[in-house]
Structure 1
């Protein structure tokens, strides 16, 4: 008798537990973590941090949107590290303005904001022409994975691997790397009205390049943007209206 009573109580208790839903959970909505939502959240974080900087140079909204969306796609596939800073270079701006940003992908904090030179055959003040061809001495657009560091003719440097086929995938064989250069310093701008130009490398100011390289090396993501129709039509990593 006692055994039957115990079984009955256990059955009733089990049924009650499965049937009961705490009142506080009824109004909760399911949390979705789509790529779009993640991108929107990170973009807003970056914008909030940019507002707090009072910087004279503002990044192009398209450069920021494309960079973050592409970074999230690449990090989800394991092509770049989700924890390393995202670097965006905005070639819609002249070389006389700061046009490189490194962004913390978690907080949206701006870690670095500085000048960067473009390739000598891409243009003078503005980078207007781009190439993936060896000895073109032009910059290449698109997404890159940062690789290993080494010491070369420009000293401490960072190798880059182009991720986008036909756009920048010859970067390593072209020796397109991040390095420091005297012609990328603001003093050069005061004298000539623009930065000097590289052989296609994104060259940085001498007092900042080492710190930037150390923060973004080894599987970080670099995005170089310009409002270039050929690139916008070719890239498979951007989600904007390609006719705009």
Structure 2
């Protein structure tokens, strides 16, 4: 009996040791990838990048399909700055950095107000999954599904999509001191919209950041709280 108990304990210890080693190895790889992402985009706020990366890893651990790319939008920056970054998560390289609009009721030069309400014409923050591309009234566009209940989960219902716009370019900045504003969509320059959509469609992740204290302290992805995320359908749709 004692030998059997020792054998069981030894097996449990071995399994736990393997799990800990695998977890530590995975964490080490994540740290290396995060460092490469930061090096490829020296002008991004490193804390914003870390927050986006952590949220994406939390989503993956809770059932979201592994993405190949991650887009980060930093709405704490004014619209005159290139505040959209798209990263390749396989190579750690920066694929694109460019301008991106916020909603007309989110602010003027800077965005300060965000919403999950249909008709608000405000941007929403948090983690999204980029879904299918389509041709609509703005041309080649990309649907977004919000993954955070109460924060952005009505994105599809609100028709919050990535699309091109003639008001997102340097000419607008020179003329008006800012780019134009959307109805809540993260609109981009018509010159780069195809590259943006093609890199993100089919399940890539999009993270929109703003230092909203309530969201920062309550988001299940930022805390990686399984209780907050429990029962939520995070699997890729369609």
Give the TM-score taking structure 2 as reference length: 0.81
Which of 123, 143, 147 is the equivalent residue of 1:159? 143
Q: Is the 8 A contact 2:38 2:49 kept in 1?
A: no
Which of 35, 41, 59 is the equivalent residue of 1:44? 35
Mapping for residues 77-116 of structure 1, pairs under 5 Å: 77-82=62-67, 84-116=68-100
2:53 aligned with 1:68, yes or no? yes
CA shift in 2, pair 1:171/1:49, >3 Å:
same
CA shift in 2, pair 1:63/1:154, >3 Å:
same
Structure 1: how far apart are the matches of 2:127 and 2:179? 23
- Per mean C-alpha deviation after superposition, the further-off stretch among 64-73 and 172-181 is 64-73
Residue ranges of structure 2 left out of the alignment (5+ in a row): 1-20, 225-238
Structure 1: how far apart are the matches of 2:48 and 2:202? 23
| Superposition RMSD in Å | 1.7
CA shift in 2, pair 1:186/1:209, >3 Å:
same
Q: What are the Cα deviations for residues 154-174 of structure 1, in whole angstroms up to 9, with x where unaligned? A: 011100000000000000000
Structure 1: how far apart are the matches of 2:97 and 2:197? 13
Residue ranges of structure 1 left out of the alignment (5+ in a row): 1-29, 52-57
What's the secondary structure of 1:158's corresponding residue?
strand
Q: What are the Cα deviations for residues 132-180 of structure 1, in whole angstroms up to 9, with x where unaligned? A: 0000000000000111111111011100000000000000000000000
Q: What are the Cα deviations for residues 108-143 of structure 1, in whole angstroms up to 9, with x where unaligned? A: 100010000000000011111000000000000000
Deviation, 1:36, is: 4.1
Q: Is the 8 A contact 2:101 2:180 kept in 1?
A: yes
Q: Number of paired residues?
A: 204
Structure 2: how far apart are the matches of 1:238 and 1:35? 19
Aligned to 1:216: 200
Structure 2: how far apart are the matches of 1:230 and 1:34? 33
Mapping for residues 53-64 of structure 1, pairs under 5 Å: 58-64=43-49
Q: Is the 8 A contact 2:121 2:183 kept in 1?
A: yes
What's the secondary structure of 1:184's corresponding residue?
coil
Structure 2: how far apart are the matches of 1:185 and 1:36? 39
What's the secondary structure of 1:87's corresponding residue?
strand
Structure 2: how far apart are the matches of 1:61 and 1:224? 14
Aligned to 1:18: none
Aligned to 1:119: 103
Give the TM-score taking structure 1 as reference length: 0.79
